[in-house]
Chain A
Amino acid sequence: MPDPGVALSTIASGVLLGGMLALAALGLSIVLGVMRLVNLAHGDFLLVGAYAGLFFFEVTGVDPLIGLPVIGLLIAALAIPLYRFLLQPLAERGAEAQMMTMFAVAIILENAFVLAFSADTRSIAVSYAALPLTLGVVTIPLVYVIGFAISVVAILIVHWLVSRTAFGRDLRAAAVDPEAAATIGVDVKRVRMLTFALGAACAGVGGTLIGTAFQFTPASGGAYLLNSLAIVVLGGLGNVIGTLFGGLALGALQSLGGLALGDGYRDLVGMALFLIVLAFRPEGFARGQA
């Protein structure tokens, strides 16, 4: 067993990372809840955010965390034509055709990243990236704390959007019963389009946060998709605050798994948890409202 200070620092870092990933997972969750679509390109949307943050920083020199609202809006704007021209025409054909289409989008994006940005490992090198924050025996990177705080604020904003606004009311109605929502005057197509854009924005902002804390490559999307799915399952579908706690739980459990078995087992713990929860509590995944 490693030194308790190291162990506690590792777990704290894991929890903070889980909190950052929870924002991206929330995007996946609301799209799943409202559109019944497992967006297989979600991990690549996250990478779009990471690359956007990287180039925003390199070109303007402004801290990408200040540029987050711009990055979020940009990615939402990119997601709208994707929904309008690729997904909406397939709406009548069931979830499978839409999922396959997003799978194809994922393949295209991953290879487009390689073509455009090379297969190099990147990270957003903000000036405070390496600064440690020490609290007693616990030492964690400052950038994790900042990313975590921003993620929590963003999740609370989404929570407010979903639970307190007119758009949120339509969103919840469309998630529970689209036909009934349509009969009482909800424009379900528009709600789905905006939900898809909101989900993409969550992934993009989460991606910039993760890009400041971690290295990424064009091939990282798959791992982020699967970790996000694990968080959605742990937190319960359609539960905004639950998703945050799902993220924290996944982060803590991955760190514990890494400490106990070796660092290579971190992601493995996530997959194992995901499959166990799916196998024993599939209703936690398939039921619920957004």
Chain B
Amino acid sequence: MIKERPVAAPREAAIIAVAFAGLWFAPLVLGEYWLQLGFRTLIYLALAEGWNLMAGSAGLVSLGTSCFVGVGAYVAYGFLNGFSLPLPVALIASAVAGAAVAAVVSPALFRLRGLYFTVGTLALAELLRLLMINVSAFGGASGIFLKSDPPPLPILFHYALVVALIAALALTLCVRTRASVIFRSVRDDEDAAAQMGVRSYRVKLAAFSLASALAAMAGAVQAVKLGAIEPYGMFGLQWSIDVLTMVIIGGMGMRLGPLVGALFVIALGETLADYPEAHIAIAGVILIVLIRVAPRGIAGLASSLRIAASKRAPA
């Protein structure tokens, strides 16, 4: 097993804070195209950080990301359209709703271990998508419009930045403190962890709820940017596919995995923007190769190369 060089939580939090503070001024220098790309990367970074916590630290491989992206989007629209609340309040409501949905479905999903959990989340996402398509109260298949105008792109970029910052800091809290030991004990052997007094159900629920709240917030920001939402897009399986692909390619369980994966997959998508099917198929091929030769993804590969280099250097 490859180990990352340990980094103390305060130091990592400081690095993240400085990096995000720098990015805050990006709209001053970046043009429309790069800002759009940055927005997309930040949204996916928030999703991927949450997914990595679930899969990499708590052993919960989910194909249900789309379900929480969609819940966040629809709840945000409900609060914005129905009560004309300010956007930050709507985002908090989305996060709460995402965590609440996770808590409601967890008794059923957590009875399923390993592969069965994955399949259960896939079925849940499909169930919610079909429900939203068919129930006319939520706009049905044609969806709903945002009554107010969406904020301009630089403001949206800042919202995405804040959501990604929350995700990054939450992850630092989870994987750089004593909590990480508890998460890993549940991932590696749930029954043994329970024997040692770890309440595995609560640990899994914490990871699942946090990831779901992050996904819901990311979905809400994305939805506000779109100005109109419909279930095929917001509850689309593509969200789940993209996030899983990013984290596996970047490095599941690696601190930098989500960032590396999000940057890689989005760069690949931009390179092959004229061939969308080829882009996804190529991502699939890369996925297969990396699972085989580098189970810890690009970040894992880089980390083991660095360790090898540092071992050679003193000699």
Contact = CB atoms under 8 A, between A and B. Distances in A.
Interface of A: 36-38, 86, 89-90, 93, 95-97, 99-101, 103-105, 107-108, 110-112, 114-115, 222-223, 226, 229-230, 261-262, 264-265, 267-268, 271-272, 274-275, 278-279, 282, 285-286
Contacts of B277: 111-112, 114-115
Given A226-B126, A278-B112, A100 B291 contact: yes
B111 A107 contact: no
A18 B124 CA distance: 21
9 tightest CB-CB pairs across the interface, nearest first?
A279-B108, A108-B284, A271-B127, A104-B287, A107-B284, A111-B281, A268-B130, A111-B277, A264-B134
Contacts of A267: 126, 130
A275 B127 contact: yes
Contact of A97 (B127, B241, B244, B295): B295
Interface stretch (B21-29, B68-76, B114-122): B114-122
Nearest to A282: B111
B108 A275 contact: yes
A220 B157 CA distance: 35
A285 B115 contact: no
Contacts of B122: 226
A105 B288 contact: yes
A115 to B, nearest CB: 5
B192 interface: no
A29 to B, nearest CB: 13
Given A107-B280, A108-B281, A268 B123 contact: no
B294 to A, nearest CB: 12
Contacts of A222: 126, 237
Interface string B258-283: 00000000000000000001101101
Given A103-B244, A226-B123, A278-B112, A271 B284 contact: no
Contacts of A107: 241, 245, 280-281, 283-284, 287
Nearest to B288: A104
B115 A99 contact: yes
30 contacts: A36-B115, A38-B115, A93-B295, A95-B114, A96-B61, A97-B291, A97-B295, A99-B115, A100-B248, A101-B291, A104-B285, A104-B291, A107-B245, A107-B283, A108-B284, A108-B285, A108-B288, A111-B280, A111-B284, A115-B281, A222-B237, A226-B126, A229-B119, A261-B134, A264-B134, A265-B134, A271-B130, A272-B127, A279-B111, A282-B111
A186 B230 CA distance: 53
Interface residues on B, range: 35 or more
Nearest to A108: B284
Contacts of B88: none
A173 to B, nearest CB: 22
Nearest to A86: B288
A277 to B, nearest CB: 10
Interface string B89-128: 0000000000000000001110110111011101110110
